[in-house]
Amino acid sequence: GQQVMQIPQYQHVQEGEDFTTYCNSSTTLSNIQWYKQRPGGHPVFLIQLVKSGEVKKQKRLTFQFGEAKKNSSLHITATQTTDVGTYFCAGFFMTTDSWGKLQFGAGTQVVVTP
């Protein structure tokens, strides 16, 4: 089936360190989105990547979309305690008969130690 895999499931980071979370799909994605969910909260949209090889930055966050549009990554530099939460990638699969479904990865839960 159409699934989005995400690793690692859990990331424990010291404040100031960098980390990366990775997302992979078995089939080509139309686009990929990244969301952040704080503990007890709801998913909040961060960014969308559409083009093959696209790279976007938001302050300390760098998002990449693979050349084959099957993988993506989120890299956070100089982690802060405000980065705590679960980061989800979510992909739209290319289907011919509908506008698709937004399928979420399992998420990377990030814990930051001061």
Partner 1 sequence: EPEVTQTPSHQVTQMGQEVILRCVPISNHLYFYWYRQILGQKVEFLVSFYNNEISEKSEIFDDQFSVERPDGSNFTLKIRSTKLEDSAMYFCASSIRGQSEAFFGQGTRLTVV
* Joined tokens for residue 39: 């503990």
Q: Closest distance between partner 1 and the C-beta of residue 60, in Å?
A: 21
Among the listed residues 38, 27, 40, the one whose alpha carbon sits nearest the alpha carbon of residue 88: 38
Which residue, 37 or 77, has its beta carbon nearer to partner 1?
Answer: 37
Choice from 21, 25, 36, 43 touching partner 1 (CB under 8 A): 43
Residue 101, interface with partner 1 (CB under 8 A)? yes
104 is a site residue for partner 1 (CB under 8 A): yes
Residues in the chain, how many? 114
Q: How many residues make contact with partner 1 (CB under 8 A)?
A: 24
Classify each residue of 22-46 as buried b or exposed e, where b means 16 or more C-beta atoms within 10 Å of its C-beta. bbbbeeebebbbbbbbeeeeebeeb
Interface with partner 1 (CB under 8 A), residue from 38, 45, 58, 78:
45
Residue in 69, 92, 108, 112 binding partner 1, rule: CB under 8 A: 92
Query: Strand (E) positions, 1-114?
Result: 4-7, 10-14, 19-25, 29-37, 44-49, 55-58, 61-65, 71-76, 85-93, 102-104, 108-113
Out of 11, 21, 31, 71, name the contact with partner 1 by CB under 8 A. 31
What residues make contact with partner 1 under the rule CB under 8 A?
Answer: 30-31, 33, 37, 41-45, 48, 88, 90, 92, 95, 98-107
